[in-house]
């Protein structure tokens, strides 16, 4: 009864409030927090924006590199570009972050906990911007959005067709080539890009531990977006994205301290294909809807020996419908339906994981309104029906108020999140458990943002998250076990920032995150999450030269319950010189202080590295 009342409340509340004029202070626009365009000046959700053009002008080309310095985000990788990578937003697990490409959910359904596997393998090719939403928004995005949601938004072509070519080379025998084109042909606009990366001189296991075998890495990315205007009110689009990687990796020692060691037989392949069709229709002046049909396939295979080889094949089929109904100028109701079918099978010699499928249907409704000047409110509710564990409900509420007299924004939000068990956790013949329930979370945050004049701004946000029913593998004998809902954790922290526009060409941004994580069962910190992270970025333009410098401090982390990773400082410098409107030359220095650091014990990380290249437009 309470749930029905809540849904009716979402529909009735806006009608009661649509009787007064209101004004909204405009700012940069974000879409991810509420599935509709919202000005950052009123957005109460913690959202970071990555401008891809700025990243590539600094010589940053991979998805992982573009995310490293986001406040509240930490990561770990098993050495080199070919290593397994985990992203932890506000201390949650890597599987608790949902990744979207123009609304299509990206993840490997047959990997152990069904998370996005391609941070290292996916480039920034053909992306316009990245929005990183921190906090649980399962009420809008469904399973997986406990820690956050990363939305990859592709570039829409425009204007006269143009072409560009980039060439980069540098440390570790790195070579990269990229060719792209975008433009408008009648009613059709297009944007496409393809790139190749080769790294031949990197070591996966740590060099100073006696591991001197090089582990080559090869990567190919290709992306296409087409948009066609059928009528003044109807647009249809197509996106395709393909990522391929071939790499070598090292073995793990079977004796203490179990560090990685050279193994020249180990090699692996990664394939990720994404396809999608979307339709957007402005049916009425105040009603708009869109349809997304998506498909993904992730295929992984590897070889260690004739007796130890593996492959995993995961597919998803997705259908989404969303309607936006504008009740009045300051109120909008968003509602929709999502359908997801996932399928996976695998083989790790000698165990075969037979084909398994699951499907999920989700229904959601959201009310976004500004009932009085500079007040923003949003409430959302979702019910999810999974083929294995039936229905699961989540909701969220958030709000902000802009005090115009002092240019102060006060903001707060509360949300529930959940993560459905993966196909592997449910159906793997050796450790699966079909009785698993979803992992669940509750989180809240509150904070402020303050502008002081036109040049100085600062802000701080406190966040607190509790996770229960976390799925963990439990040993039931020698090398035997099963997955169970036994995990609990508590996470809280503060994210703060200062921005100073020194002049119109020069800026300084400093961000700091303090975070405390605890695994309830034994009171230990969660693995590989730093308590402290500090990042400073300085950017300036002098004539045709763009200079960007960054300094990052990452505090100590637990590698295992009994071993710790030391804190480290990284310094990076990027120069971009515009020779003319068709030619740019860039230089990037990474780890300029030549810091010896580890993300996972025993795995190599880049020492001082230099990369240079050109970008030619024609």
What's the length of the chain?
618
Rounded to whole angstroms, the Cα distance separating 170 from 541 reads 24
* pLDDT attached to residue 144: 92
- The arithmetic mean of pLDDT across residues 530-550, rounded, is 97
Write the burial class of residue 577 (CB in 10 Å: 0-12 exposed, 13-18 middle, 19+ buried): middle
Asked whether residue 390 carries a pLDDT value surpassing 90, the answer given is no
Find out whether 30 and 136 touch, Cβ atoms under 8 Å. no
* pLDDT attached to residue 27: 55
Q: How far lies 443's CA from each of 287, 412, 413, 418, in Å?
A: 32, 11, 8, 11
Asked whether residue 222 carries a pLDDT value surpassing 50, the answer given is yes
> Residue 83 — very low, low, confident or very high, per pLDDT cuts 50/70/90?
confident
Find out whether 607 and 596 touch, Cβ atoms under 8 Å. yes
Asked whether residue 7 carries a pLDDT value surpassing 70, the answer given is no
Write the burial class of residue 587 (CB in 10 Å: 0-12 exposed, 13-18 middle, 19+ buried): middle
Find, among 359, 274, 360, 364, the residue nearest to 321 by Cα.
364
Asked whether residue 287 carries a pLDDT value surpassing 50, the answer given is yes
As a whole number of Å, the end-to-end CA separation of the chain is 63
Backbone angles phi, psi at 40, to 5 degrees: -65, -20
* pLDDT attached to residue 245: 96
The 3-class secondary structure across 281-307, one letter per residue, is EEEECCEEEEEEEEEEEEEEEEEEECC
Domains for the chain: give ranges and CATH numbers: 2-617 (2.40.170.20)
Q: What percentage of the chain reaches a pLDDT higher than 70?
A: 96
80 in the Ramachandran plot: left (φ > 0), alpha (ψ -120 to 50) or beta? left
- The arithmetic mean of pLDDT across residues 16-45, rounded, is 71
* Model pTM above 0.85: yes
Joined together, the tokens standing for residue 464 give 């607190």
Query: Considering the chain, what is the average pLDDT of its residues?
Result: 92
How many CB atoms within 10 Å of residue 486?
13
* pLDDT attached to residue 125: 93
* pLDDT attached to residue 479: 75
Task: Say which residue the tokens 């025993």 belong to.
Answer: 602
* pLDDT attached to residue 251: 87
* pLDDT attached to residue 243: 97
Find, among 265, 268, 262, the residue nearest to 206 by Cα.
262
- Residues 116-169: tens digit of each pLDDT: 989 999 999 999 999 999 999 999 999 999 999 999 999 999 999 999 999 999
- Residues 255-272: tens digit of each pLDDT: 777 889 998 889 999 999
Backbone angles phi, psi at 598, to 5 degrees: -130, 140
> Residue 241 — very low, low, confident or very high, per pLDDT cuts 50/70/90?
very high
Asked whether residue 478 carries a pLDDT value surpassing 90, the answer given is no
- The arithmetic mean of pLDDT across residues 340-347, rounded, is 96
Asked whether residue 18 carries a pLDDT value surpassing 70, the answer given is no
Q: Is the peptide bond before 467 cis (omega within 30 degrees of 0)?
A: no
* pLDDT attached to residue 562: 83
Asked whether residue 76 carries a pLDDT value surpassing 90, the answer given is yes
Backbone angles phi, psi at 481, to 5 degrees: -175, 180
- Residues 515-530: tens digit of each pLDDT: 999 999 889 999 999 9
Rounded to whole angstroms, the Cα distance separating 618 from 558 reads 50
CA 66 vs. chain centroid, Å, equals 10
- The arithmetic mean of pLDDT across residues 476-484, rounded, is 87
- The arithmetic mean of pLDDT across residues 557-586, rounded, is 94
Asked whether residue 434 carries a pLDDT value surpassing 50, the answer given is yes
């Amino acid at each position: 009864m309470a749930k029905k009342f809540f849904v009716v409340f979402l529909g009735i509340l806006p009608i009661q409030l649509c009787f007064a004029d209101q004004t909204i202070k405009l700012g940069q626009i974000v879409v991810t927090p509420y599935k509709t365009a919202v000005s950052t000046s009123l957005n109460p959700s913690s959202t970071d924006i990555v401008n891809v053009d700025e990243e590539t002008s600094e010589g940053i080309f991979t998805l992982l590199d573009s995310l490293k310095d986001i406040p509240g985000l930490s990561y770990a990788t098993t050495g080199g570009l070919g290593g397994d990578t985990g992203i932890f937003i506000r201390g949650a697990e890597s599987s608790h972050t949902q990744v979207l490409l123009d609304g299509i959910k990206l993840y490997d359904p047959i990997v152990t906990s069904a998370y996005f596997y391609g941070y290292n393998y996916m480039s920034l090719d053909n992306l316009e911007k990245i929005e990183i939403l921190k906090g649980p928004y399962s009420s809008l995005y469904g399973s997986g959005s406990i820690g956050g949601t990363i939305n990859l938004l592709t570039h829409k072509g425009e204007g006269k067709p143009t072409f560009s070519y980039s060439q980069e080379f540098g440390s570790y025998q790195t070579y990269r080539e990229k060719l792209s084109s975008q433009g408008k042909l009648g009613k059709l606009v297009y944007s496409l890009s393809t790139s190749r990366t080769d790294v031949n001189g990197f070591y996966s296991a740590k060099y100073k531990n006696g591991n001197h075998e090089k582990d080559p890495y090869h990567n190919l990315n290709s992306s296409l977006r087409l948009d066609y205007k059928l009528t003044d009110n109807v647009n249809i689009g197509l996106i395709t994205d393909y990522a391929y990687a071939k790499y070598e990796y090292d073995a793990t020692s079977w004796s203490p301290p179990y560090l990685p060691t050279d193994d020249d037989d180990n090699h692996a392949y990664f394939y990720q294909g994404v396809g999608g069709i979307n339709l957007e229709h402005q049916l009425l002046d105040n009603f708009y809807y869109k349809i997304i049909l998506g498909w993904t396939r992730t295929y992984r295979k590897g070889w260690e020996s004739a007796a130890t080889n593996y492959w995993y094949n995961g597919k998803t089929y997705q259908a989404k419908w969303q309607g936006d109904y504008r009740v009045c100028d300051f109120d909008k109701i968003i509602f929709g339906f999502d359908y997801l079918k996932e399928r996976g099978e695998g083989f790790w010699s000698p165990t075969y994981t037979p084909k398994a499928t699951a499907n999920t249907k989700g229904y959601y409704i959201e009310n976004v309104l500004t009932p009085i000047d500079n007040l923003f409110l949003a409430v959302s509710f979702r019910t999810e029906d999974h083929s294995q564990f039936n229905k699961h409900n989540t909701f969220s509420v958030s709000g902000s108020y802009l005090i115009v007299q002092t240019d102060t924004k006060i903001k707060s939000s509360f949300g529930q999140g959940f993560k459905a068990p993966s196909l592997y956790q449910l159906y793997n013949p050796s450790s699966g458990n079909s009785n698993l329930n979803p992992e669940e979370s509750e989180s809240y945050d509150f904070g402020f943002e303050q502008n002081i004049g036109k040049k100085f701004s600062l802000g701080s946000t406190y966040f607190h998250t509790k996770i229960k029913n976390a799925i963990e593998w439990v040993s039931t004998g020698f090398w035997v076990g099963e997955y169970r809902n036994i995990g609990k954790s508590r996470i809280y922290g503060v994210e703060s920032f200062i921005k100073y526009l020194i002049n119109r060409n020069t800026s300084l941004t400093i961000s700091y995150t303090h975070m405390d994580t605890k695994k309830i069962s034994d009171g230990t910190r969660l693995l590989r999450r730093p308590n402290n992270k500090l990042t400073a970025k300085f950017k300036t333009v002098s004539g045709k030269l763009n200079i960007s410098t960054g300094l990052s401090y990452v505090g100590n982390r637990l590698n295992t319950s009994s071993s710790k990773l030391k804190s480290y400082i990284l310094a990076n410098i990027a120069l971009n010189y515009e020779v003319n409107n068709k030619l740019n030359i860039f230089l990037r220095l990474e780890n300029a202080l030549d810091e010896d650091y580890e993300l996972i014990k025993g795995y190599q990380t880049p020492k001082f590295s230099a990369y240079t290249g050109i970008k030619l437009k024609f």
